[in-house]
Amino acid sequence: MAGWVWRPERRWHAVAVDVLLVIPATLDALLNFPPPRDWHFWVSLGAAAVLLLRRRFPRTVLLLTLPGLYAGSAMIASMVAAYTVSRTSRPNWQKATAALAVVIGSFIPWPVTDFAKESASDITQHLIYAAVLGSGPVVLGLLAQTRLDLSARIAELAVLRDHERALYAKTVLAEERARIAREMHDVVSHQAGLIAVQAGALQVTTRDPQTRETAATLRGLAVATLEELRSMILVLRAAGAGPTELVPQPRLADLARLVAAAEVHATLRIEGLAERALPEPVERAAYRTVQEALTNVRKHAPGAPTEVAVRIEPDCLRVSVRNEAPDGGESAPGLPGGQHGLIGLRERATLLGGTINAQAVADGGFLVQLWLPLADPAADRLPGATAGGVLG
């Protein structure tokens, strides 16, 4: 049945409300029909009693209260019944009929011959009074039902919004992981290929059996690594990640060009061991962080002075991008706007063992900080080690 939904946690509360409504409806009959009482009183009293069933059978209860309204004094009972009908999902014509029935019952006197005793002014006043009594409960019921419908719709939209955000966050993570995997493929495949070639050459030229066996093992591992990388790229392509990018990946050396082309009032400062060769994934993470931060400054704080600071320390790389408040004294919005840009950057930093923080500062600006650990510089000087061969 289309009506209110009965839930266990609301059952006793609903019963208590119905009992409280029966009390004034009963008093309406008792006060209007002092002893000795005739059938008009009992019809009005029955109209009050059937209110206990109004949630289950709203239309039936309204019909049962009308005799008490037309022939007795069941005004409160009929108004409550009309309100109940308007709170259901019944067609609007049924709700309008309920209002009209209460209006007619409130307007027509019992017996009908009492009309002749009233003046035109009294009849007009009674009509207005009856219209208010009949339409008021229905209007209140419609408003209450509309409020419930809006609340349900808002809750549904909130769930859909959270679901959409979760899906978008997963998409950002998937794209970032795919890009990281492609970048790793570009670097690792080259290094593994060199290892396989060198191991094959050593296997052919050496005279020591043990060295030949070790070289063969290294060559086999390098070939297996290349096969795994090819399988990974095939999976990424099947998942819609797109083909492998063969263009050169950005490095710290490209930051100056990035800052110059960012279309914001930004300055770049690189301190520390600027001449030190860093692992390619670390440099790319720093570049992507600066790129994302400058993009959001351009979107949310155009014209705001921005400082990009990169510091290379013996054990870590620190990157900070700080912009002041936008022109006009307005506070800078959150950077990035939906926090989705940071999802990919945080994933990249986590994979490299680092951290990234973004927060508003007291002067109305915004600060993005990246920290990435670096391996022991002595490891960079090991034979055969290159900057591109170190993966975070």
- Domain assignment of residue 1, yes or no: no
Q: Which residues of the chain have pLDDT under 50?
A: 1-6, 8, 240-241, 243-246, 329-338, 379-392
Domain of residue 287, CATH code: 3.30.565.10
Residues 6+ apart with CB under 8 A from 352: 281, 282, 285, 372, 373, 392
**Residue ending a domain, choose from 102, 117, 132:** 117
pLDDT at 332: 42
Query: What pTM was computed for the model?
Result: 0.43
CA neighbor of 76 nearest in space, from 36, 34, 134? 134
CB 300 within 8 A of CB 320: no
* Closest to 296 in 3D by CA, of 342, 356, 349: 342
pLDDT tens digits, one per residue of 213-250? 888 888 888 888 777 776 666 665 555 445 444 456 67
**pLDDT at position 154:** 92
Structural domain count, the chain? 2
Question: Is 312 in a helix, a strand, or coil?
Answer: strand
Closest alpha carbon to 69 in 38, 105, 109: 105
Q: What pLDDT does residue 121 have? A: 81
Strand order in the sheet with 266-272: 266-272, 306-312, 316-323, 366-373, 355-360
Q: Quick check: is 99 in a domain?
A: yes
> What gap in Å lies between CA 391 and CA 347, rounded to an integer?
15
Does residue 143 belong to any structural domain of this protein? no
Q: Are 305 and 265 in contact (CB under 8 A)?
A: yes
Range of the domain at 274: 252-328+339-373
- Domain-located, residue 308: yes
Tell me what pLDDT residue 188 has: 66
pLDDT of residue 316: 93
Looking at the DSSP bridge assignments, the partners of residue 373 are 316
Provide the pLDDT for residue 310. Answer: 94
Could you tell me if residue 241 is inside a domain? no
Please state, in angstroms and as integers, the Cα–Cα distance from residue 69 to each residue in 77, 106, 116, 261, following that order. Answer: 8, 7, 20, 81
pLDDT tens, residue by residue, 266-282: 999 999 877 788 888 88
Amino acid (1-letter code) at residue 234: L
**Inside any domain, residue 76:** yes
Boundary (domain end) residue, out of 99, 117, 135: 117
| Domain contains 200 | no
334-370 b/e with 16+ CB inside 10 Å = b?
Answer: ebbeeeebbbbbbbbbebbebebebeeeeebbbbbbb
The answer to whether residue 268 sits within a structural domain is yes
Q: How buried is residue 108: exposed, middle or buried, by Cβ count under 10 Å (0-12/13-18/19+)?
A: middle
